[in-house]
Structures are given as structure tokens and as C-alpha cells.
Chains A and B, each alone.
Chain A
Amino acid sequence: MSTLHTVNKSPFQSQCLYNCTDLIAPGDSLVLIEDGVYALKLGGEERARLLNAIKQGTRVYALNADLQTRGLDSSWAEIKTIDDSEFVELCCKHQRIQSWY
């Protein structure tokens, strides 16, 4: 009965990520896509905010293609990198999808 969330805006530009993490429920998943993957560059308090959502039981993923095209690599142990087919699998595994954009 869980929800899959996607965030496609950079947290350096938009509140989308925080709007999402404030509401995401334990058992839900979050996939960072497009500019959303810039979340991996977060530091300090903002980074702690995302880590806190993960601690509360949210799984966070980043779409590999979007990381690569931005020259980022997944430096966070807590965030799993996924390819397109894994993204599709996640969509199927969750009841509903909320896109934060």
C-alpha cells in the first residue's frame, strides 16, 4: 500500500525535495530523477534532513542515467543507484506514484 515518490528538481533550486521528505511515510520509496539527483551534493543540515527520512524507513534511489549525464557518482551509501528497468520495477511494486515537480 506504499507510495513511490519522484523528485525531479535540484534541492539547490526548489523546495520539492523537502516538500517530499516532510510528507513521505515509512515504507515509501523516493527516486531522485533529472535534476533531483543533485541532492547527492547536499551537505550540512539539508543532507541531514534527507538522511533523517531514510532513517525513518524511506528507501531513496537515484537514477543512474541522470547521475552520469550530470557527472555525478553515488557517493552516499544510503542511496542506491538504479537503472531504468529497476525504476520500472519500483513503479510496479508501489500502489501509487506522487511526482514532486
Chain B
Amino acid sequence: MRDILCISRHSPQSGLLAKEALDTVLAGATFDQSISLLLMDEGVWQACAPLGTELSAFKDLSKNLNVLALYGVDTIYIHANSLKARGLNAHELSSGNTTLLDQADTQALMRDHQHIFSF
């Protein structure tokens, strides 16, 4: 069983939660925890590149997400139904190394981790 699953369910522009989830994953990976990131509900927008962030107080998280592989986090899990509900396709995601999960896979992912951090 892996150590920590960070479930990130908020949009990158709604506040600091999305960034905090990513920072938690980076911190965990830095300290050798087996840690995973699951984007769900409004969180799936984090993997889509914005048209521009000059007008925003928040950075382009989709660029940040690409760094995970260098931290030893090989894939970003995406809740497939959340994508579908928003009319998004996997090929519209700008972050690489994503794994789409259906309902059963998502439940299994949760069971496969010791702890969940909810963002």
C-alpha cells in the first residue's frame, strides 16, 4: 500500500487549495513518501493550460504539474467522469503523464493508500 493520496478537487483559479495540494505532493516526494495526486471534480482544470495568467493572482499550475516526474511521481491520476462531465477530452490536457481512472479504479486508488489528504 502506498503512503499518501492527495485528492485535489478545486479549480486552479478558485484559491490556494490547488497549489497547496501540489506543494504537499512535492514535499512528500522530497521526503521519500510514496505519494500520489488525484485530480477530481473542478480539480481537473488544473491539468488544462489557461489561455493566459497575466490577469490572475495564481500561476499556471499545469506547468507546475509537469515537474512531478522529476520528483519521482510518475503519473497524475485524473477522475475520468469529472473530465467527461465538463466536456473535456484526455488530449485537451496539457500536463503529460496522466492516467485516467473510471469509478472502480478511483475507488481502488483510494483503498491503495494509507492516508488521504483532501484539498
Direct A–B contact in the complex, CB atoms closer than 8 angstroms: yes
Task: Tell me the smallest distance from the CB of A89 to a CB of chain B, in Å.
Answer: 19
A3 touches B110 (CB 8 A): yes
Q: Residue B118 contacts which of A15, A23, A95, A100 (CB distance < 8 angstroms)?
A: A100
Q: Does A88 contact B (CB under 8 A)?
A: no
Assembly CA distance A3 to B103 (angstroms): 15
Assembly CA distance A55 to B52 (angstroms): 46
Task: Tell me the smallest distance from the CB of B69 to a CB of chain A, in Å.
Answer: 26
B86-108 vs A, CB cutoff 8 Å, 1 = contact: the mask equals 00000000000000000100110
Interface size, chain A (Cβ < 8 Å): 14
Residues of B within 8 A of A95 (CB): 114
Q: Residue B116 contacts which of A1, A19, A22, A97 (CB distance < 8 angstroms)?
A: A97
Assembly CA distance A95 to B106 (angstroms): 16
A98 touches B7 (CB 8 A): yes
Q: Residue A98 contacts which of B81, B103, B118 (CB distance < 8 angstroms)?
A: B118
* Chain B residue with Cβ nearest A15: B41
Q: Does A52 contact B (CB under 8 A)?
A: no
Assembly CA distance A97 to B110 (angstroms): 10
Which residues 58-101 of A have a CB within 8 angstroms of B? 95-101
Known contacts: A19-B9, A19-B40, A19-B41. The answer to whether A25 contacts B116 by CB under 8 A is no
Provide 15 A-B residue pairs closer than 8 Å at the C-beta atoms, listed in order of the A residue. A1-B111, A3-B116, A19-B9, A19-B41, A22-B103, A23-B110, A25-B107, A95-B114, A96-B113, A96-B114, A96-B115, A96-B116, A98-B110, A98-B116, A100-B9
Interface residues of A (CB under 8 A from B): 1, 3, 15, 19, 22-23, 25, 95-101
Interface residues of B (CB under 8 A from A): 7, 9, 40-41, 81, 103, 106-107, 110-111, 113-116, 118
Q: Nearest 9 CB-CB pairs, A to B?
A: A99-B118, A96-B116, A25-B107, A98-B116, A96-B115, A19-B41, A98-B118, A3-B110, A23-B106
